């Protein structure tokens, strides 16, 4: 009110009242309201999600009717779903999303799938695979919101049934109803953990969540007393379910975590001796076979039990082809932990775009380093902290090293960890094969191999053996070796290497940048890469024809030094069965040198270039008196004679080269 007793326009507006005022109730005046609450302001309203706003507007009966119709429609789609009509069912669900509230469709689908899976007395593998693939398809099409809601609800239901199935400390053994209840909850819990495993197989969730669930199983039966009660029969059965359905994938994704799990199991069963049940012994044997990569062999005799494997592969093929036909919203699995799901209501959901997050990752990381962090249930983290800390430290160091080495994608980091943690080259190749990489992703293996070998202080033949073994398995690796060598030569300043398209774009390149890039390559890296390719060429993993685009007459100093080292080491590698390339060998196997260079003799331009380079550089710079110089001159002479056999020119011309 102003000095004249009139009300300002701003004071006349009272806003919209949230409560309806009865007609017979007097409306208070502004003056009286101001007198009673001189400093009051409009009350702050709480944010209400859209689906709850609609519920507030519509009556409960109307909303229940909508949900009932939606449930009936979605249940009909799920009941009709088979592998043959899978695509049309997905399209029907998409149409349902467009016609209804997204939250209603998501929650209804989640409820139907979880209830349908858990209620089966005898769960078929094909049923779980089909519905897990259905969730994976919606994860890609609808978005991460669907998968996040589904996974959070699924894990909550799994933990609820597991808690109900656990035998409490004060249970009455004479109560038959309690036993029946626990038996039913155990069956539902078993069915749900199979669904979680299949979701992991279809890349809806990552191995982080699955390993967390395994650790919770190893922490005890979940009696609720906060103590480690040991593993009961249900925990053993659940662990076997996970290992049978997802064991190989877990081993490929995080082998170090699998070793931690096996150590925990061994620690729990040590000292019990003959008190172990047959199922527990079988579980330990299964884990050990998985660790030693024997599980795949044993599965061959269990095709009746693992009949869903073929269905998994078919559905994976369907899911991988979805990106070619339609726009996909999600590509990566949810990397949520069990603790993230437990604290979602209090701290938020960091895995959802736009969701609030109340955690401080820096503080949490410091807590983990100090050992003050605890596991999801307050027991697992503390009980296993001392056991897992060295392994976690080693794994974190590998991941930190991978990032430091420029491994900027999950694929490269996975390959790097496999190469660094394998026992030998055979183990490395097996584990690389279990990564289930596509043909495009497999190219990263060669690039990581070259990067790691080049960064070693001394040449490590381990990388040469891995590359040789891979080239025997697939011709595509040989193609990648060729392109990677061309890339390396261009980095050394040989910008004309790489095909007509590269030469055409030479005018757009800055020569100063090429020189700076070449200077960054150390002599040790050049030497290691030269020995690596020399072994591959000598052992037929690739051939000298990869040098076709090289003009040996106009080489720059660093390219010239690299190619000289490459040819000298090729001479050495042809005479030895050991990949440890060192001093000049004592053997003089002429046929081995001829076998390497005869392939290059078929390409006339390459043969002439090699003859020129061997004569003017390799043999001329070889020592006259030492053993290495004599060997290089002998091998160079054999190579020149072999190359001349493919040249359709006057012999005197090549003699002058």
All domains of the chain in start order, with CATH: 50-234+308-347 (1.25.40), 420-656 (no CATH)
Question: Which single residue is written with the structure tokens 């096996």?
Answer: 262
Position 62 confidence tier, pLDDT thresholds 50, 70, 90: low
CA 634 remoteness from chain centre: 50
pLDDT averaged over every residue in the chain: 76
SS3 357: strand
Which residues are within 8 A (CB) of 523 and not within 5 positions of it... i.e. 6 or more apart?
none
Question: Taking 50 as the threshold, does the pLDDT of residue 366 lie above it?
Answer: no
Judged by average pLDDT, the poorest of 7-16, 241-250, 260-269, 614-623 is: 7-16
- The overall longest dimension of the chain from CA atoms, in Å, is 122
Q: How far apart are CA 486 and CA 470, in angstroms?
A: 20
Q: What is the pLDDT of residues 602-657, one digit of tens each?
A: 888 899 999 999 999 998 887 767 788 888 899 999 999 988 886 654 344 444 45
d(CA 148, CA 330): 11
DSSP reduced 3-state for 451:
helix
Instruction: Note the residue count of the chain.
Output: 657
Identify the sign of the CA torsion 515, 521, 523, 527: negative
Greater model confidence, 520 or 138? 138
Which of 292, 334, 529, 306 lies closest to 430, judged by CA? 292
In b/e form, how buried is each residue of 503-541, taking b as 16+ CB within 10 angstroms? eeeeeeeeeeebeeebeebeeebbbbbbbbbbbbbbbeb
**Inter-residue contact 166 to 234 (CB < 8 Å):** yes
Overall average pLDDT of the 543-557 stretch: 90
pLDDT tens-digit readout, 260-278: 888 888 777 776 666 777 8
Close Cβ partners of 281 (under 8 Å, ≥ 6 residues apart): none
Tell me which range, 103-112, 315-324, 347-356, is most confidently predicted by mean pLDDT: 103-112
What's the pTM value of the predicted model, to 2 decimals? Answer: 0.50
Tokens of 376: 């999801």
Give strand pairing partners of 357. Answer: 348
Which residues touch 641 (CB under 8 Å, ≥6 apart)?
none
Distance separating alpha carbons of residues 478 and 487, to the nearest angstrom: 14
User: Which two tokens mark 314?
Assistant: 């078919």
CA 429 to CA 418: how far, in whole Å? 9
Using an 8 Å Cβ cutoff, are 339 and 212 in contact? yes
User: Which of the given ranges, 60-69, 319-328, 548-557, has the highest pLDDT on average?
Assistant: 548-557
Q: Which two tokens stand for residue 170?
A: 């004060």
């Amino acid at each position: 009110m102003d000095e004249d007793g009139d009300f300002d326009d701003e004071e006349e507006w009272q806003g919209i009242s949230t409560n309806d005022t009865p007609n017979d109730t007097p409306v208070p005046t502004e003056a009286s309201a101001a007198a009673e609450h001189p400093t009051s302001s409009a009350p702050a309203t709480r944010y209400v999600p859209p689906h709850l706003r609609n519920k507030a507007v519509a009556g409960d009966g109307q909303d229940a009717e909508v949900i009932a119709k939606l449930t009936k429609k979605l249940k009909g789609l799920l009941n009709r779903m088979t592998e043959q009509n899978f695509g049309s069912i997905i399209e029907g669900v998409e149409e349902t999303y467009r016609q209804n509230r997204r939250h209603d469709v998501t929650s209804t689908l989640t409820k139907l799938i979880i209830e349908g899976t858990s209620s089966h007395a005898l769960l078929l593998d094909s049923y779980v695979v089909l519905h897990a693939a259905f969730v994976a398809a919606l994860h890609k099409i609808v978005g991460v919101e669907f998968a996040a809601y589904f996974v959070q609800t699924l894990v909550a239901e799994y933990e609820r049934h597991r808690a109900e199935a656990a035998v409490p400390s004060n249970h009455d053994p004479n109560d038959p109803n309690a036993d029946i209840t626990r038996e039913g909850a155990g069956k539902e819990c078993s069915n749900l953990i199979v669904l979680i495993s299949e979701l992991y197989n279809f890349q809806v969730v990552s191995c982080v969540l699955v390993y967390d669930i395994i650790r919770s199983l190893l922490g005890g039966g979940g009696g609720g007393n906060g103590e480690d009660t040991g593993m009961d029969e249900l925990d053993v059965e659940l662990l076997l379910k996970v290992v049978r359905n997802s064991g190989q994938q877990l081993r490929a994704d995080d082998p170090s975590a699998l070793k931690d799990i096996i150590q925990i199991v061994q620690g729990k069963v040590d000292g019990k001796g003959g008190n172990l049940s047959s199922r527990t012994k079988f579980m330990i044997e299964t884990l050990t076979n998985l660790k030693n990569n024997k599980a795949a062999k044993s599965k061959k005799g269990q095709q009746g039990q693992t009949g869903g494997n073929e269905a998994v592969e078919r559905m994976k093929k369907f899911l991988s082809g979805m990106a070619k036909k339609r726009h996909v919203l999600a590509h990566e699995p949810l990397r949520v932990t069990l603790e993230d799901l437990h604290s979602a209501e209090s701290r938020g959901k960091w895995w959802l775009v736009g969701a609030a997050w109340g955690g401080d990752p820096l503080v949490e990381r410091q807590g983990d380093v100090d050992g003050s962090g605890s596991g999801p249930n307050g027991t697992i983290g503390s009980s296993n902290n001392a056991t897992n800390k060295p392994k976690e430290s080693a794994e974190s160091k590998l991941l930190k090293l991978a990032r430091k080495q420029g491994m900027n994608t999950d694929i490269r980091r996975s390959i790097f960890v496999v190469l660094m943690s394998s026992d030998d080259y055979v183990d490395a190749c097996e584990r690389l094969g279990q990564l289930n990489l596509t043909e495009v992703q497999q190219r990263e293996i060669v690039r990581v191999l070259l990067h790691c070998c080049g960064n070693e202080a001394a040449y490590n033949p381990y990388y040469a053996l891995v590359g040789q073994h891979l080239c025997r398995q697939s011709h595509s690796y040989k193609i990648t070796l060729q392109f990677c060598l061309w890339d390396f030569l261009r980095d050394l300043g040989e910008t004309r290497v790489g095909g007509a398209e590269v030469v055409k774009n030479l005018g757009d390149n800055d020569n100063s940048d090429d020189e700076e890039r070449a200077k960054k390559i150390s002599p040790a890296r050049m030497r290691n890469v030269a020995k690596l390719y020399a072994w591959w060429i000598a052992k037929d993993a690739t051939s000298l024809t990869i040098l076709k685009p090289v003009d040996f007459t106009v080489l720059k100093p660093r390219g010239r030094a690299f190619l000289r080292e490459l040819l000298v080491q090729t001479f050495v590698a042809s005479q030895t069965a050991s990949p440890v390339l060192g001093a000049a060998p004592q053997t003089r196997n002429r046929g081995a040198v001829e076998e390497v260079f005869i392939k290059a003799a078929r390409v006339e331009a390459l043969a002439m270039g090699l003859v020129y380079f061997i004569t003017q550089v390799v043999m001329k710079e070889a020592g006259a008196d030492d053993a290495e110089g004599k060997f290089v001159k002998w091998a160079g002479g054999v190579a020149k004679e072999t190359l001349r056999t493919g040249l359709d020119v006057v012999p005197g011309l090549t003699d002058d080269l």
